[in-house]
Structure 1
Amino acid sequence: MKITITGGAGFIGSNLCEYFLSKGHEVVCLDDFSTGHHYNIEPLMSNNNFTILESDIRNLDDCKQAVEGADYVLHQAALGSVPRSLKDPVTTNEVNITGFLNMLVAARDAGVKRFIYAASSSTYGDSEALPKVEEVIGNPLSPYAITKYVNELYAGIFSKTYGLETIGLRYFNVFGRKQDPYGAYAAVIPKFVIQLMNHESPVINGDGNYSRDFTYIDNVIQMNELAMFTSNPEAINTVYNTAYGDCTTLNDLVKYIKEYLTAFDAAIAQVPVIYGPQRQGDIPHSLASIDKAKRLLGYQPNYSMEEGLKEAIDWYWKNLKK
């Protein structure tokens, strides 16, 4: 198959590129490298089935070039981060909504078989119900959350109006190899891992009792593959929680990270944790029901949070230890 992966130089996108190339597929990676990195895809450049387009999804012509002849689109390109969207809602909107619409139009016009896109658990907003069930959402709490919900609405319209098959995957706090630990908007796991590796104190926002459904990258790859190749008509033109189906507090997360890192450096056990103010736009708890994905896609996550965290820490130590 020919697969177009937008945001293919980013954390999730580059893992998807690597995986589908290993399965013998042809992969076109579109990325503007605003948040992605050349080093994520450098090992793939020698593969004759891999093409890189340094392009911007805000440009419709770039999107059309990227999907020409594609069987599937895996749309990962977006400006993530709730704090970033609060600081710059305009750019977040341009990339996440205008760029998303451009990709839908390009995919429709190119006649792709299916459009699978990265949705977000932020869509649940202020809904306090746990676990999170796909059909029950609340009001968005950030510009980023609004953009990801609008993506779902647009995908639904394109399915109904134009017959474009779409599947949205609501990612829950994905982590793993190649996730960037640096920068102002680094995700919590790689940021904490690098800080502790350097004997620096991680800063937890709030009292550490907020919890998340941390989801290892290989579970996300599995969900993308299942969404691509499912032949169940009931399984398409809908959205799925993409998670492990368990939650971990930030306090427990740091405990696990310190425990696994001390296998490499015993001094890390003595690094203290700092507690700071609660972050604006954060929800207290996030826990996914994965029953729908199990029932309609046959999803069975292969990695628990702890198993994935051990793999991720091993990767960071081998690749990023100074």
Structure 2
Amino acid sequence: MLTPRLLERGHDVVGLDSELFEHCFFLPAKAQVPSIGGDVRDFVRDPDAVEKLRGLDAIIHLAGLSNDPLGDYRPGLTQEINAQGSIDLAHLAKQAGVPRFIYASSCSNYGASGDDFIDEGGELNPVTPYGVSKVEAEIAIRAIADDSFSPTFLRASTAYGLSPMLRFDLVVNNLTAWAATTGEVHLKSDGSPWRPIVHVEDIALAYIASLEAERTDVHCEVFNVGLTSENYQIREIAEIVRDVVPNSRVGFSDDASPDVRNYRVDCNYIARKLHNFKPQWTCRRGVEQLYDAFVSSGLKLDEFEGPKYKRIAHMKQRIEAGSVDQDLRPVRQLVSV
């Protein structure tokens, strides 16, 4: 969602992507850009890495294992990729003279913070390897900031919304898909935890606003990405989905239980500081968008609950098939001719 918007605004874009999810498109990709490498773990060990980064005006660092289930799979890999890979890349960027480094952090950093609103100065209390990795990276990257190297940290709320590489392991997307295909808004927890949510298009807008802002407005700044009004208990999201999807009802899985992750996030600071960041989406509007897309595509339950659109399930499938090794690196296939 971000790349085509950067190109539309006249930016030159190069990529760094391991392509672990190259077969997971729900919609056609909107843009193709040249690449300077693959797995961030390998790139930071490339003796030519500094030269490959030289001349860039900014790095938007999104690479990492993307959610708690994938982060829990092998916590050591999460630390290696999300934390150390990010820290090493930031050091290389500084050596190469890249002046801006925008890091994809997460509101998961707050972990179990309770029912009160928490802002960027609140206590960090990550409860998963994913959250811990994001906190470690923030701390280490902030430590190397100076007059020539300016990092910014975007703590995104829980993402949702239609995109080319749509994920169904995200709460709004998943609940809407269940309702659209079965008539049941299927809750896998007791629905009590609070979550801030933000549409993937609005996340892209936050990166663009940070990139194009004056350095003095974003240097070493941390921003919660979203709208304060878009904090919901999971059961409230379920009720919105029920109201949007005709003839649907809310139901609970047999093993539904409380979720220790519980946080309400204050997003007022980004609104005050980055005037060009103007979120466009609400939960209800996003559910309507998703429902229309699911109906028009003929989405089926076994498709979205299968391995194509769930990160951890897809990786396990690829490991079993031998196309990815246990360390989540693609395996090169030998072909006889």
Aligned to 2:161: 176
Aligned to 2:31: 44
Inter-CA distance 253–71: structure 2 relative to 1 (3 Å threshold): same
Inter-CA distance 197–91: structure 2 relative to 1 (3 Å threshold): same
Q: Is there any run of 5+ residues in structure 2 with no aligned partner, and where? A: 301-337
Q: What's the CA shift for 1:83?
A: 2.8
Q: What's the CA shift for 1:26?
A: 1.5
Structure 1 position 314 matched with structure 2 position 292? yes
The farther-off stretch of 72-81 and 127-136 is 127-136
Alignment check: 8 A CA contact 1:177 1:316 kept: no
What CA distance in whole angstroms lies between the structure 2 residues aligned with 1:132 and 1:63?
38
What CA distance in whole angstroms lies between the structure 1 residues aligned with 2:266 and 2:198?
13
Alignment check: 8 A CA contact 1:167 1:239 kept: yes
One-letter code aligned to 2:284: E
Q: In the alignment, which of 273, 277, 286 is matched to residue 251 of structure 2?
A: 273
Inter-CA distance 320–224: structure 2 relative to 1 (3 Å threshold): farther
Aligned positions of 1:262-301 closer than 5 A: 262=246, 269-270=247-248, 273-275=251-253, 276-278=255-257, 282-284=260-262, 286-298=263-275, 299-301=277-279
What CA distance in whole angstroms lies between the structure 1 residues aligned with 2:183 and 2:77?
32
One-letter code aligned to 2:194: S
Aligned to 2:239: 255
SS at match of 1:215: strand
TM value normalised by structure 1 = 0.81
What whole-Å deviation, never above 9, does each CA across 1:269-308 have from its counterpart, x for those lacking one?
A: 245522433366x323x22212221222224322222223
Structure 1 position 159 matched with structure 2 position 142? no
Alignment check: 8 A CA contact 1:232 1:296 kept: no
Q: In the alignment, which of 144, 149, 152 is matched to residue 130 of structure 2?
A: 144
One-letter code aligned to 1:243: G
What CA distance in whole angstroms lies between the structure 2 residues aligned with 1:83 and 1:279?
16
Aligned identity (percent) is: 21
Structure 1 position 27 matched with structure 2 position 13? yes
What CA distance in whole angstroms lies between the structure 2 residues aligned with 1:129 and 1:209?
10
Q: In the alignment, which of 200, 205, 222 is matched to residue 205 of structure 2?
A: 222
What CA distance in whole angstroms lies between the structure 2 residues aligned with 1:219 and 1:76?
15
Q: What's the CA shift for 1:235?
A: 3.1
What CA distance in whole angstroms lies between the structure 1 residues aligned with 2:217 and 2:250?
50
What CA distance in whole angstroms lies between the structure 2 residues aligned with 1:38 and 1:63?
28
What CA distance in whole angstroms lies between the structure 1 residues aligned with 2:266 and 2:13?
31
What CA distance in whole angstroms lies between the structure 2 residues aligned with 1:107 and 1:38?
30
What CA distance in whole angstroms lies between the structure 1 residues aligned with 2:137 and 2:238?
33
Q: What's the CA shift for 1:102?
A: 2.5
SS at match of 1:106: helix
Alignment check: 8 A CA contact 2:145 2:151 kept: yes
Over the residues paired in the alignment, what is the CA RMSD in angstroms?
2.6
Aligned residues: 292
Inter-CA distance 256–232: structure 2 relative to 1 (3 Å threshold): same
Q: Larger Rg: 1 or 2?
A: 2
One-letter code aligned to 1:248: Y
What CA distance in whole angstroms lies between the structure 2 residues aligned with 1:320 and 1:31?
30
Q: In the alignment, which of 67, 71, 75 is matched to residue 53 of structure 2?
A: 67
Structure 1 position 235 matched with structure 2 position 218? yes
Inter-CA distance 301–81: structure 2 relative to 1 (3 Å threshold): same
Q: What's the CA shift for 1:91?
A: 1.0
Q: Is there any run of 5+ residues in structure 1 with no aligned partner, and where? A: 1-14, 263-268
What CA distance in whole angstroms lies between the structure 2 residues aligned with 1:93 and 1:241?
22
What CA distance in whole angstroms lies between the structure 1 residues aligned with 2:243 and 2:37?
40
- The one of the two structures with greater contact order (alpha-carbon pairs below 8 A, sep at least 6) is 2
Inter-CA distance 94–181: structure 2 relative to 1 (3 Å threshold): same
One-letter code aligned to 1:104: A
SS at match of 1:51: coil
One-letter code aligned to 2:40: I
Inter-CA distance 309–153: structure 2 relative to 1 (3 Å threshold): same
Aligned to 2:170: 187
What CA distance in whole angstroms lies between the structure 2 residues aligned with 1:198 and 1:65?
50
